[in-house]
Amino acid sequence: MTTVSGHEQRRGGESRSRSVVLTGFMATGKSTVGRQLAARLRYGFVDTDRLIEERFGSIPEIFRTQGEERFRAIERELASELAALPALVIATGGGMLVDSAVADVFIGAGSLVVSLVADVDTIYQRVGGERAGERRPMLAVANPRQRIAELVGERESAYARFPQVRTDTNSSARIVDEIVALM
């Protein structure tokens, strides 16, 4: 067993085990489903947002002091590091794989990339409604629900590049089953 900044990574036998990368808009269940999927597969689990916070500080603070461009550069660096490791379930930040270069890093490494999707109202409820901007820098606007709808629309084609699994109409166990079936 090896560790990536405190995140356990289990090795799956002699050959490289295909990692699974979960993408999708914020609050679609990437971290929750990712932990359950990792347990089922006996893989390590990495939440890229948590890893960024461990290494660089809070995401809202990175956005405020260094800007979104620096944050996205950090995500690109992390993608290269994680793509080289076997047998992980990786829950990405909502915008990480919108960058096709980042997506290509994971695909090139042989990872299965799956997009988790939910409707705008479900996302809005999950992020805390009107108070969403307190923890989610991209939603620190007058109308967070409208901003969610705009961002989902902007990112839809990037997410559609990958197999999609709905998280607003299925149980976590069913979602994990659907992802395992894609492997």
Over the stretch 15-59, which tens digit does the pLDDT of each residue have? 358 999 999 999 999 999 999 999 999 999 999 999 999 999 999
Give pTM, 2 decimals: 0.86
Q: Residue 141: which pLDDT band, with cuts at 50, 70 and 90?
A: confident
Q: Domain ranges in the chain?
A: 27-178
Pairwise pLDDT comparison (69 vs 139), residue with the higher score: 69
pLDDT of residue 131: 75
Looking at per-residue confidence, does 28 or 137 come out higher?
Answer: 28
The answer to whether the CB of 145 falls within 8 A of the CB of 128 is no
Q: Is the pLDDT of residue 6 over 50?
A: no
Residue 102: in which H helix or E strand, if any?
Answer: helix 100-108
Q: How far is CA 86 from the centre of its chain?
A: 17
Dihedral angle sign, alpha carbons of residues 118, 26, 152, 24: negative
Q: pLDDT band at residue 127, thresholds of 50, 70 and 90?
A: confident
Q: Residues of 4-35 as b/e, b for ≥16 C-beta within 10 angstroms?
A: eeebebbeeeeeebbbbbbbbbbbbbbbbbbb
Asked if pLDDT for residue 13 goes beyond 50, the answer is no
- Residue percentage of the chain with pLDDT more than 90: 77
- The strand pairing partners of 116, in sequence order, are 165
pLDDT band at 142 (very low <50, low <70, confident <90, very high): confident
Helical pair 59-83 and 48-56, crossing angle rounded to 10 deg: 120
Distance separating alpha carbons of residues 89 and 36, to the nearest angstrom: 10
Predicted local distance difference test score (pLDDT) of residue 16: 52
Nearest to 26 by CA among 128, 104, 113, 141: 128
Cα 29 to Cα 126: distance, rounded to the nearest angstrom: 9
What is the structure's pLDDT at 2? 31
Rounded mean pLDDT of the chain? 89
Separation between Cα atoms, residue 3 and residue 16, nearest integer Å: 16
The residue among 134 and 83 whose pLDDT is bigger is 83
Q: What is the pLDDT of residues 166-176, one digit of tens each?
A: 999 999 999 99
Superfamily of domain 27-178: P-loop containing nucleotide triphosphate hydrolases (3.40.50.300)
